[in-house]
Amino acid sequence: MADNARAKKLADLIREVVAEKLQRGVKDPRLGTHVTITDSRVTGDLREATVFYTVYGDDEARANAAAGLESAKGVLRSAVGRAAQTKFTPTLTFVADALPETAKGIEELLDKARASDAQVREVSSGAQYAGDADPYKKPDDEDEDEGATAE
Question: Which string of DSSP letters, residue by residue, matches 8-62?
Answer: HHHHHHHHHHHHHHHHHT---TTTTTTEEEEEEEE-TTSSEEEEEEEESS-HHHH
pLDDT at 16: 92
pLDDT at 24: 83
pLDDT at 141: 57
What is the residue-level pLDDT of the chain in tens, covering all 151 positions? 556 888 899 999 999 998 888 888 777 777 766 788 889 999 988 899 999 998 887 888 888 888 888 888 888 899 999 998 888 999 999 998 877 778 888 999 999 999 999 998 888 887 777 777 777 877 775 556 555 555 4
